[in-house]
Amino acid sequence: MNIGITCYPTYGGSGVVATELGMELAARGHEIHFISYAMPTRLNPAHERIYFHEVETTTYPLFDHPPYTLALAVKMAEVAESAPLDLLHVHYAIPHSVSALLAREMSLPRRLPFITTLHGTDITLVGNDRSYLPITRFSIEKSDGVTAISEYLRNRTVQEFDIRRPIEVIRNFVNCDLYCRAEDQSRRNEWAPNGEPLLMHLSNFRPVKRITDVIEIFALVREKMPAKLLMIGDGPDHGAAEHLVKQKKLGRDIFFLGKQSRIQDFLGLADVFLLPSDLESFGLAALEAMACEVPVVATNVGGVPEVVTNGVDGFLVAPRDVVGAAKYAIEILLRADRGREMGKQARINARKKFCSNDVIPLYEAYYQRVLDASSNAARA
């Protein structure tokens, strides 16, 4: 198939999933066209079946903000004609599904079905705003196919938006061949030269991720044992986290590594992964850590319980329960094997339910169903 994929090219989960999906599909022989305002963070454009089309917006004194939604719709329609695309797959409802709806209408009488994948804050935060709720609901209902990344997100979408059309749950995935325990652990010496436990956090550093809670949890761990913390990512709460590190005099133990493209190279070194978010519709970073044999200490919110099994491959605590999270992290690190058995179970569970080899065919089958339904509707 020739598939157009639109996502936010930033460090958030929706962009990561869309990018990884496109690369997996290209590896399986499909032609993938990414359409966005910038190159997605994790995209490897060197693949012979991957193309990137940049959306350019016009600046004009009359516009307070460039009309990106319209420019994106035009680019979608142009790529659909020139590629030619079989379908569009847009990630994050606002504004991508609206642009895809316009592109579909612009492409008539040619068929250009589009699928919308819901990722989380497009439903729980942005789409739920009174300014956007009606158009979010409308564009979801008008999509030729809709998927959600967790049962939690599907149920919340149906309840809060009164969606009548079916929503398919296709969970996030991880390449289990790529994400695995690092065979060579010597790189740990860069941060933990004396063999200290290595804790890790990965996110876009937005308020919902509770970055300062990560620091607070680590500070409690550090009171009980020597340890180091790697903070991967960047975002609006970076400054607050840096300030807290200075306050607690932990500058020698906490390392801010910024955005990284090869996350697996770091996760495969960790002993514990911390994810104390206020809300996660899935918890992709937790899954990536689990695939690398890393036990996860996370909050019992949203779709996280669909990924992490409490007491088996990690521990779940209430949101903002810093003391409880620290207690479980310490429990893992004080074990004779420093949590290696729990980490191995984490990988077993990740492989069982979330490997790309099993999930990508679900997307391919769903694409075919949408194409068949669109073709039958056109003939009716």
Is residue 13 included in any domain, yes or no?
Answer: yes
* Total of domains in the chain: 2
Handedness of CA 120, 125, 131, 137 (dihedral sign): positive
DSSP helix/strand/coil, 95: helix
Q: What is the pLDDT of residue 309?
A: 96
- 153: tokens are 């997100």
Is residue 266 included in any domain, yes or no?
Answer: yes
Is residue 267 included in any domain, yes or no?
Answer: yes
350 and 360 co-located in one domain? no
Residue span of the structural domain in which 81 resides: 2-173+356-379
Contacts with 130 (C-beta within 8 Å, 6 or more apart), sequence order:
none
Is residue 178 included in any domain, yes or no?
Answer: no
- 230: tokens are 């790697």
Q: What is the pLDDT of residue 127?
A: 55
Place of tokens 């207690």: 327
Nearest to 280 by CA among 105, 154, 152, 376: 152
CATH at residue 264: 3.40.50.2000
The rounded Cα 265 to chain-centroid distance in angstroms is: 18
Q: Quote the CA–CA distance of 302 and 372 in Å, as a whole number.
A: 33
Q: What is the pLDDT of residue 380?
A: 65
DSSP helix/strand/coil, 376: helix
18 and 148 co-located in one domain? yes
12-16 contacts, C-beta under 8 A, 24 or more apart: 12/204, 13/119, 13/120, 13/172, 13/282, 13/284, 13/285, 14/91, 14/92, 14/117, 14/119, 14/120, 14/122, 15/40, 15/41, 15/42, 15/91, 16/41, 16/42, 16/284
Q: Is 235 left (phi over 0), alpha (psi -120 to 50) or beta?
A: left
347 and 361 co-located in one domain? no
Q: What is the pLDDT of residue 126?
A: 62
Q: Quote the CA–CA distance of 162 and 159 in Å, as a whole number.
A: 5
24 and 166 co-located in one domain? yes
Place of tokens 């079946």: 49
Beta strands, E only, 18-176:
31-36, 50-54, 87-91, 114-118, 145-148, 168-169
Give the residue ranges of the chain where pLDDT is below 70.
11, 126-129, 380
118 and 239 co-located in one domain? no
Cα dist. 74→116, 217, 266 in Å?
A: 18, 47, 39
Is residue 83 included in any domain, yes or no?
Answer: yes
Q: Are 339 and 221 in contact (CB under 8 A)?
A: no
Instruction: State pLDDT tens for residues 100-127.
Output: 999 999 999 999 999 999 998 778 776 5
Place of tokens 């761990």: 221
Q: Quote the CA–CA distance of 190 and 181 in Å, as a whole number.
A: 17
Nearest to 42 by CA among 211, 195, 265: 265
Burial class of residue 245, CB neighbours in 10 A (0-12, 13-18, 19+): buried
151 and 197 co-located in one domain? no
What is the secondary structure of 360-376 as a DSSP string? HHHHHHHHHHHHHHHHH
- 164: tokens are 């009548």
Q: What is the pLDDT of residue 215?
A: 98
Is residue 284 included in any domain, yes or no?
Answer: yes
Q: What is the pLDDT of residue 14?
A: 85
Instruction: State pLDDT tens for residues 243-290.
Output: 999 999 999 999 999 998 889 999 999 999 999 999 999 999 999 999
Is residue 271 included in any domain, yes or no?
Answer: yes
23 and 117 co-located in one domain? yes
200 and 242 co-located in one domain? yes
Is residue 10 included in any domain, yes or no?
Answer: yes
Nearest to 277 by CA among 298, 306, 254: 298
- DSSP H helical ranges for 162-267: 211-224, 238-247, 264-267
346 and 363 co-located in one domain? no
- DSSP H helical ranges for 34-126: 68-82, 93-106, 121
344 and 365 co-located in one domain? no
80 and 137 co-located in one domain? yes
Q: Quote the CA–CA distance of 148 and 170 in Å, as a whole number.
A: 6
54 and 143 co-located in one domain? yes
Nearest to 322 by CA among 339, 303, 297: 297
Q: What is the pLDDT of residue 128?
A: 59
The rounded Cα 343 to chain-centroid distance in angstroms is: 21
